[in-house]
Amino acid sequence: MEVIQGYSYHIKNEFFDLINDKFLMSNKENENYRPHFLAIQDSKNKDLYWMIPISSQVEKYKKIIEKKMERYGKCNTIIIGKFAGKENAFLIQNAFPIISKYLDHVHKIENKPIMVHSKLERTLIVNLREVLAMYGQGIHLIFPDIIAIRKKMEDELKK
């Protein structure tokens, strides 16, 4: 499957079975594909994509952002932005790397793939890179074990 940065995708169940990380957001909810994930290409390995979960529970995440702003003066782990005409929460705190083999299909509305606006995409890329840099310095703002997931994905690419 061709993966295009800025589009959102649904992920195959086999990825979640392989990774088995309790901090990954569950793939299905009432037999619907939920959530869908925004794809951002890795800056070092073009075959890896960072998947950022997209949530419609905006009010829930606005409260979390507010608490983080009060405590730290900043929140770069949750970004609120418009997607498919509605406000959504982009959960960088739940991001993880993946390879295209585990993507099931692009998210569509009325049979059209939905792309994030370029300004929001830039904001998400900047914040993702900042959070990943902090992770590399031992400040773990991302819940899943992204080191172990990345290793499994890179091992898959070598096969």
Q: What is the pLDDT of residues 29-77, one digit of tens each?
A: 545 556 789 999 999 999 999 999 999 999 999 999 999 999 999 999 9
pTM: 0.92
Residue 84 zone, left/alpha/beta (φ > 0; ψ -120 to 50; rest): left
Q: What is the pLDDT of residues 70-113, one digit of tens each?
A: 999 999 999 999 998 899 999 999 999 999 999 998 988 888 88
Q: What is the length of the chain?
A: 159
Domains of the chain: 8-158 (3.10.129.130)
**Distance separating alpha carbons of residues 29 and 123, to the nearest angstrom:** 29
Q: Are 108 and 114 in contact (CB under 8 A)?
A: yes
